């Protein structure tokens, strides 16, 4: 609208004024005329000065100014203003036209027509208006782009089945290909859904520097009227077999507010979870928490889906797949008690059936006398609590029971803190007469890593702190995987409130900044379970001395599994994500055929210090069990980081095992998996991304169009584009605005005179 | 006496002296005012006093004592036989319990409550005490409520130590009673290589501990219980729930261990096996 009005008054569109510079082209006659105008002006002034009859000074001034303004407009026109433009020379320049060839172009959101239909209409052949208009003035080079960018001869070569949109790559590629020819610009015809994850700025800077404007034509709607999308599914990459997974699924939608839909999870053909959710208002995301158990070991493909609705515009975005490696390993945990305690018996019993947890229990029964349970062999822990980092760092988690800080040497206390901070292990301190402040931990390195602020101890002659209290989960605890003691969040929350009271002998009321309280006393005044991440690891404080009451109490049924569930989940959560010496790190769990897969390994020595001189290899097993060895090199960017890449040539599941050796000795190995398959990424957030296309145009000096405004594209390229240009002058004296001004001023003068009753 | 046994006996003897042995009863701890032993001399036994509940469980007078980790808990059950205060369950009570606890405190680094703690099998509070001691079970005749209470206690994770019953008749009675509690589990012998015999002390042989009347001479057996035996009942996961000391009177050895006339061999064994059983019960 603005452009149309502007063009009506000023003869040309704003972009023309933006590109051109203003100049005047007066002739001799112009100067003669100008002198005449000045003379007339002077005469006018003098006349107004002389006339006195029936006029007020204000009237004279107004009329004099209007007259002079009329003369000024005339004078301006007489000086012949022109707009100096550099115009692209017809047929001497090239124009790259990049057409999106991805799947999302087949979405029919243009009043029943697909986005691809626009391409066919406008670029489909000799009859198509846009292509014809462009071809009249430019030498056209067509490109298709999706996962890859290719030269095409006509739009008949487009298939619209690309599974990714690499916009940045397409711009770079087209620019490179047209580098040796006079290039007026690039036209991008796309829905703008760039899902390649590459940095767009890196592609735009060279274009801007080379003066190649990009004209973007956005196809499709900026929002759907009816659609449900699984926007995000957060699953861990690796879990322990039997782990109870709590996965957040982000659902976005339009047009289904208030309706209840069901999120289903399928583990290779078997439905393992079904969670109903009532959708909030349009455009508002809903987070659905889905729970299921990773029952089978191996690389498992979990599918999350919402059944498509009959009237949905895009149904392909109702499902997401996630590859989760379910490990059937036995994770070592060291539980150290400073005295015989029932907790040791009952915790050991609670996790005894869990084949994936090995809790080595070390119990001091008298001075320098230890009892070992659940150890690996006769030598394991024979000297008591580990004295070397290497020995301690074999474990993934440490539980400290009622053991006073004085038992440990300063080096052992430092080692325990480093176990968390450097090795990335988990530490849990239980309540007891010799734990926390009562155990003399204040001021030790262990106190530094604990998530709680230790309370004051009882003074000389005072009774120690003691309270019997019920327990309730905090908001964080109600949903946290470590404190889920029943199948659903509601049942778990209710079960916590039913559990019998436990006793606390350590007064802990506050957590440190950044720590999270999961459980608190029934009156909310005391911390019962809190954790924080410290360095690479996790630290938990559980100042309860008799959680075994949740097993033994008369209110608990003999076959009740709450105590077992709590300790299994808590310990599993503790060992979850604890790193090994060698970590195989793939940036993604899914690539497409022939798409390079980045391989990355992090390698530490037995003391968990990064090591740069290791020999690291990746053994890649393809779906046909053929094995390829890829050597990995230290990146030099980060200590202990090794990298390489690999291009998969078959569809299916690839196993990547990375192995590190130093001086012929194996440091460790780790296995990751990656799925090679076409991507569905195109259907997510597949509405037209106008902001992205506008940004591309703006940063390169081009313009953004929609099918409704695309008519001016050809003229704009000719004005704005680069390549071979000629200087062209366009007259401005005949702009309608001048006539409009002239007439407005004359009529204004007449009207003023009438209103004032002047002659 | 072998040197090893001699050393052990020395340790225990020192512990006994340190605990203020010599008086028939250890003094009640200062923080338990008002708690007077109900029975102070054998002569009083003849009066058959009745225990009040708070005397059986001193923690009831001072709930914060529940903060302690271990309670030597004696099972009160229905049955006939010897003993003071209403039944066979109270044999040697509470002197034996207190004397044993004072020794335990010196030998093992654990937070044990120093007073007796007796509780009925059908009292729900029994679940707070995962270790239970019962003796004179040859004349035990549990009520249905007691059977149910003991069964659930054991299945939930509790541990029962049985002591001081002799001969075939008492065995048969006990076996019948425990079958009412755990009909699905069998009683098995505990061989000397079972971990319970070396959890804390390394016990190489079973000793028949005679009652006080026979300790200073005469036969160590009673009735036809000629050979001391240790048996156990395991659940389906292999967890030991019940340890049965048959044809032996370990409790008497605790009770009379302070007596200069009581043979050290018996008190040493009694204390060693009990410490082992408790440490085992608290860890396995």
Check pLDDT > 60 for residue B85: no
Percent above pLDDT 90 for chain B? 63
Architecture in CATH for domain A331-575: 3-Layer(aba) Sandwich (3.40)
> What is d(CA A384, CA A431) in angstroms, rounded to the nearest whole number?
21
- Other C-beta atoms closer than 10 Å to the C-beta of B66 total 16
Check pLDDT > 90 for residue A509: yes
pLDDT tens for each residue of B129-139: 999 999 999 99
Task: Please judge whether A551 and B283 are an interchain contact, meaning their C-beta atoms are less than 8 angstroms apart.
Answer: no
Chain A residues closer than 8 Å to B283 by CB = 340, 344-345, 348, 361, 363, 371, 373
- Other C-beta atoms closer than 10 Å to the C-beta of B183 total 8
Q: What is the ipTM of this complex?
A: 0.85
Chain B residues closer than 8 Å to A552 by CB = 127-128, 130, 156-158
Residue for token digits 């200087």? A727
> How far is the alpha carbon of B258 from chain A, nearest alpha carbon, in Å?
23
Interface test with A, best of B12, B14, B109, B201 (most A CBs within 10 A): B109
Pairwise pLDDT comparison (A162 vs B75), residue with the higher score: B75
> What is d(CA A93, CA A721) in angstroms, rounded to the nearest whole number?
9
pLDDT tens for each residue of A593-630: 888 999 999 999 999 999 999 999 999 999 999 999 99
Check pLDDT > 60 for residue B25: no
Check pLDDT > 80 for residue A482: yes
Would the CATH topology of A90-222+687-717 be identical to that of A331-575?
yes
**Nearest CA to A399 among A363, A433, A366?**
A363
Average pLDDT over residues B10-39: 41
Chain B residues closer than 8 Å to A549 by CB = 127-128
Buried b / exposed e across A103-122, counting CB within 10 Å, b at 16+?
Answer: bbbbbebbeeebbbbbbebb
> What is d(CA B241, CA B129) in angstroms, rounded to the nearest whole number?
14
Average pLDDT over residues B66-74: 92
Answer whether A365 touches B (CB < 8 Å): yes
Average pLDDT, chain B: 83
**What is the residue extent of each domain of chain A?**
2-87+729-756, 90-222+687-717, 233-327, 331-575, 582-676
Average pLDDT over residues A305-325: 91
> What is d(CA A463, CA A467) in angstroms, rounded to the nearest whole number?
12
> What pLDDT score does B35 carry?
35
> What pLDDT score does B44 carry?
38
Check pLDDT > 90 for residue A541: yes
pLDDT tens for each residue of A2-29: 878 888 888 888 878 887 888 888 888 8
**What is the residue extent of each domain of chain B?**
3-22+69-281
CATH fold of B3-22+69-281, please? Rossmann fold (3.40.50)
Answer whether A254 touches B (CB < 8 Å): no
> What is d(CA A407, CA A389) in angstroms, rounded to the nearest whole number?
17
For A163, the token pair is: 């599974």
Check pLDDT > 80 for residue B32: no
Helix/strand/coil for A140: strand
pLDDT tens for each residue of A687-741: 888 999 999 999 999 999 998 888 888 888 888 777 777 777 888 888 899 899 9
For residue B162, list its beta bridge partners: B134, B244
> What is d(CA A387, CA B81) in angstroms, rounded to the nearest whole number?
56
Check pLDDT > 90 for residue B252: yes
Task: Please judge whether B199 and A552 are an interchain contact, meaning their C-beta atoms are less than 8 angstroms apart.
Answer: no
Angle between helices A200-210 and A690-700 (to 10 degrees): 30
Q: Are A158 and A101 in contact (CB under 8 A)?
A: yes
**Which of A52-61, A131-140, A396-405, B84-93 is most confident?**
A396-405
Return the minimum-mean-pLDDT range out of A106-120, A434-448, A633-647, B14-28: B14-28
Cβ pairs A/B, distance under 8 A: 95
Chain B residues closer than 8 Å to A361 by CB = 283
Answer whether A363 touches B (CB < 8 Å): yes
> What pLDDT score does A193 carry?
77
CA distances from B135 to A474, A550, B42, B160, B224 (A): 47, 29, 19, 10, 18
Answer whether A505 touches B (CB < 8 Å): yes
Chain B residues closer than 8 Å to A362 by CB = none
Average pLDDT, chain A: 90
> What pLDDT score does B46 carry?
41
> What pLDDT score does A381 carry?
93
> What pLDDT score does A749 carry?
87
pLDDT tens for each residue of B148-160: 999 999 999 999 9
Task: Please judge whether B237 and A371 are an interchain contact, meaning their C-beta atoms are less than 8 angstroms apart.
Answer: no
A563: nearest CA in chain B? Answer: B156
**Nearest CA to A49 among A32, A39, A63, A35?**
A63
> What pLDDT score does A457 carry?
83
> What is d(CA A602, CA A641) in angstroms, rounded to the nearest whole number?
5
> How far is the alpha carbon of B278 from chain A, nearest alpha carbon, in Å?
9
Average pLDDT over residues A175-197: 85
**Nearest CA to A245 among A268, A265, A259?**
A265
Interface test with A, best of B70, B108, B196, B282 (most A CBs within 10 A): B282
Chain B residues closer than 8 Å to A352 by CB = 237
**Nearest CA to A634 among A662, A600, A668, A608?**
A600
CA distances from A87 to A208, A415, B181 (A): 19, 74, 103
CATH class of A90-222+687-717: alpha beta
Task: Please judge whether A558 and B155 are an interchain contact, meaning their C-beta atoms are less than 8 angstroms apart.
Answer: yes
Q: Smallest Cβ distance to A364: which of B109, B278, B281?
A: B109
Answer whether A466 touches B (CB < 8 Å): yes
The phi and psi torsions of A88 (rounded to 5 degrees) equal -65, 135
Check pLDDT > 80 for residue A400: yes
For A146, the token pair is: 């999706």
CA distances from A98 to A133, A140, A142, A293, A720 (A): 16, 10, 6, 47, 18
Check pLDDT > 80 for residue A576: yes
> How far is the alpha carbon of A418 from chain B, nearest alpha carbon, in Å?
29
Chain A residues closer than 8 Å to B126 by CB = 554
Average pLDDT over residues A630-653: 95
Q: From the centroid of its chain, how far is CA A20?
A: 42
pLDDT tens for each residue of A238-255: 899 988 888 999 999 999
Q: Are A54 and A100 in contact (CB under 8 A)?
A: no
Answer whether A552 touches B (CB < 8 Å): yes
Q: Smallest Cβ distance to A505: which of B67, B155, B158?
A: B67
Task: Please judge whether B279 and A549 are an interchain contact, meaning their C-beta atoms are less than 8 angstroms apart.
Answer: no
Name the band, by pLDDT with cuts 50, 70 and 90, for residue A162.
Answer: confident
Chain B residues closer than 8 Å to A339 by CB = 69, 109-111
Residues 387-426 of A with CB under 8 A from B: 402
Check pLDDT > 80 for residue A88: no
**Which of A151-155, A382-386, B79-83 is most confident?**
A382-386
Q: Smallest Cβ distance to A342: which of B64, B66, B130?
A: B130
Answer whether A342 touches B (CB < 8 Å): yes
E strand residue ranges, A17-119 = 21-24, 81-88, 93-100
Task: Please judge whether B109 and A339 are an interchain contact, meaning their C-beta atoms are less than 8 angstroms apart.
Answer: yes
> What is d(CA A440, CA A454) in angstroms, rounded to the nearest whole number?
10
Q: Smallest Cβ distance to B109: which of A353, A366, A554?
A: A366
B284: nearest CA in chain A? Answer: A345
3-state helix, strand, coil in chain B (%, to 5): 40, 15, 45
Instruction: Provide the CATH number for the domain formed by A233-327 in this structure.
Output: 2.60.40.10
Q: Smallest Cβ distance to A463: which of B64, B156, B282?
A: B64
- Angle in degrees, CA B269, B109, A399, rounded to 5: 125
Name the band, by pLDDT with cuts 50, 70 and 90, for residue B10.
Answer: low
**Nearest CA to A583 among A620, A616, A535?**
A616
Name the band, by pLDDT with cuts 50, 70 and 90, for residue A330.
Answer: very high
Name the band, by pLDDT with cuts 50, 70 and 90, for residue B15.
Answer: low
Q: Are A94 and A138 in contact (CB under 8 A)?
A: yes
DSSP strand pairing (B240-246 vs B159-163): parallel
Name the superfamily (CATH) of residues A582-676: Macroglobulin (MG2) domain (2.60.40.1930)
């Amino acid at each position: 609208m603005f452009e149309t009005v502007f063009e009506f008054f000023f003869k040309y569109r704003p972009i023309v004024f933006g590109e051109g510079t203003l100049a005047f082209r007066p002739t001799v006659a112009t100067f003669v005329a100008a002198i005449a105008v000045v003379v007339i002006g002077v005469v006018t002034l003098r006349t107004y000065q002389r006339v006195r009859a029936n006029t007020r000074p204000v009237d004279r001034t107004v009329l004099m100014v209007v007259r002079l303004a009329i003369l000024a407009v005339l004078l301006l026109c007489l000086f012949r203003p022109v707009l100096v433009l550099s115009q692209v020379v017809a047929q001497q320049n090239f124009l790259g036209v990049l057409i999106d060839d991805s799947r999302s172009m087949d979405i029919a959101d243009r009043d029943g027509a697909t986005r691809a239909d626009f391409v066919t209409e406008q670029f489909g052949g000799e009859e198509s208006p846009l292509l014809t208009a462009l071809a009249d003035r430019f030498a056209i080079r067509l490109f298709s782009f999706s996962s890859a960018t290719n030269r095409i001869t006509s739009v008949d070569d487009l298939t619209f089945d690309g599974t990714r949109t690499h916009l940045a790559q397409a711009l770079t590629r087209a620019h490179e290909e047209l580098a040796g020819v006079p290039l007026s610009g690039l036209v991008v015809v796309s829905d703008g859904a760039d899902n390649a994850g590459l940095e767009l700025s890196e592609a735009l800077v060279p274009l801007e520097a080379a003066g190649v404007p990009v004209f973007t034509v956005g196809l499709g709607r900026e929002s759907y009227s009816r659609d449900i999308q699984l926007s995000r599914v957060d699953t861990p990459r690796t879990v322990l077999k039997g782990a109870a997974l709590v996965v957040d699924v982000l659902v976005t939608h339009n047009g289904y507010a208030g309706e209840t839909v069901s999120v289903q999870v399928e583990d290779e053909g078997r439905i393992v979870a079904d969670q109903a959710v009532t959708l909030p208002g349009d455009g508002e995301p809903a987070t659905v928490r889905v729970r299921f158990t990773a029952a089978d070991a191996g690389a498992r493909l979990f599918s999350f889906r919402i059944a498509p609705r009959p009237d949905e515009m895009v149904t392909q975005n109702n499902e997401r797949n996630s590859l989760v490696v379910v490990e059937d390993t036995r994770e070592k945990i060291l539980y150290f008690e400073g005295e015989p305690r029932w907790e040791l018996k009952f915790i050991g019993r609670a996790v005894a059936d869990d084949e994936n947890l090995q809790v080595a229990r070390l119990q001091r029964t008298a001075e320098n006398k230890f009892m070992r349970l659940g150890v690996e062999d006769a030598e394991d822990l024979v000297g008591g609590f580990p004295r070397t980092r290497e020995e301690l760092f074999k474990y993934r988690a440490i539980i400290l029971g009622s053991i006073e800080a004085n038992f440990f040497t300063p080096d052992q206390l430092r080692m325990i803190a480093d176990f968390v901070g450097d090795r990335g292990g988990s530490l849990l301190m239980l309540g007891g007469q010799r734990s926390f402040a009562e155990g003399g931990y204040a001021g030790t390195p262990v106190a530094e890593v604990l998530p709680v602020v230790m309370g004051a101890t009882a003074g000389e002659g005072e009774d120690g702190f003691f309270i019997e209290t019920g327990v309730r989960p905090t908001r964080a605890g109600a949903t946290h995987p470590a404190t889920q003691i029943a199948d659903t969040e509601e049942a778990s929350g209710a079960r916590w409130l039913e559990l019998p009271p436990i006793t606390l002998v350590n007064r802990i009321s506050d957590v440190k900044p950044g720590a999270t309280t999961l459980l608190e006393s029934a009156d909310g005044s005391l911390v019962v379970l809190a954790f924080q991440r410290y360095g690479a690891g996790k630290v938990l404080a559980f100042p309860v001395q008799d959680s075994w009451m949740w097993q033994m109490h008369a209110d608990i049924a003999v076959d009740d599994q709450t105590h077992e569930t709590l300790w299994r989940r808590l310990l599993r959560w503790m060992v979850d994500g604890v790193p090994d010496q060698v970590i195989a790190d793939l940036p993604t769990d899914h690539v497409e055929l022939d798409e390079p897969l980045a391989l990355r390994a992090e390698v530490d020595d037995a003391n968990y210090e990064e090591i740069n001189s290791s020999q690291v290899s990746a053994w890649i097993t393809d779906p046909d069990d053929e094995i390829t060895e890829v050597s990995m090199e230290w990146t030099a960017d980060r200590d202990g980081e090794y990298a390489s890449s690999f291009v998969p040539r078959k569809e299916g599941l690839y196993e990547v095992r990375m192995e590190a050796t130093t001086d012929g000795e194996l440091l460790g190995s780790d296995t990751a998996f990656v799925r090679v398959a076409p991507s569905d990424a195109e259907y997510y957030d597949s509405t037209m991304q106008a902001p992205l296309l506008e940004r591309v145009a703006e940063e390169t000096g081009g313009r953004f169009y929609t099918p409704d405004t695309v008519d001016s594209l050809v003229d704009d390229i000719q004005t704005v584009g680069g390549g071979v240009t000629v200087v062209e002058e366009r007259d401005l004296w005949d702009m309608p605005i001048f006539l409009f001004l002239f007439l407005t001023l004359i009529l204004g003068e007449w009207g003023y005179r009438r209103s004032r009753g002047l002659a | 006496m072998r040197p090893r046994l001699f050393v052990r006996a020395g340790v225990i003897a020192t512990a006994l002296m340190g605990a203020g042995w010599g008086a028939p009863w250890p003094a009640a701890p200062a923080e338990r005012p008002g708690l007077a032993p109900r029975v102070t001399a054998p002569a009083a036994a003849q009066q058959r006093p009745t225990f009040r509940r708070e005397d059986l469980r001193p923690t009831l007078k001072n709930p914060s004592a529940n903060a302690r980790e271990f309670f030597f808990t004696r099972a009160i059950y229905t049955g006939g036989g010897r003993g003071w205060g209403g039944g066979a369950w109270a044999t040697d009570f509470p002197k034996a319990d207190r004397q044993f606890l004072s020794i335990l405190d010196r030998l093992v680094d654990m937070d044990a409550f120093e007073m007796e703690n007796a509780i009925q099998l059908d009292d729900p509070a029994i679940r707070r005490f995962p270790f239970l001691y019962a003796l004179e079970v040859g004349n035990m005749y549990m009520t249905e409520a007691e059977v149910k209470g003991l069964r659930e206690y054991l299945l939930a994770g509790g541990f029962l130590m049985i002591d001081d019953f002799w001969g075939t008749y008492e065995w048969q009675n006990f076996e019948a009673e425990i079958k009412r509690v755990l009909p699905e589990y069998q009683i098995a012998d505990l061989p000397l290589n079972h971990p319970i015999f070396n959890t804390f002390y390394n016990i190489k042989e079973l000793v028949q501990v005679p009652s006080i009347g026979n300790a200073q001479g005469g036969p160590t057996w009673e009735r036809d219980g000629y050979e001391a035996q240790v048996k156990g009942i395991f659940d389906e996961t292999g967890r030991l729930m019940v340890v049965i000391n048959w044809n032996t009177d370990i409790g008497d050895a605790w009770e009379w261990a302070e007596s200069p006339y009581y043979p050290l061999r018996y008190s040493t064994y009694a204390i060693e096996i009990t410490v082992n059983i408790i440490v085992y019960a608290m860890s396995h």
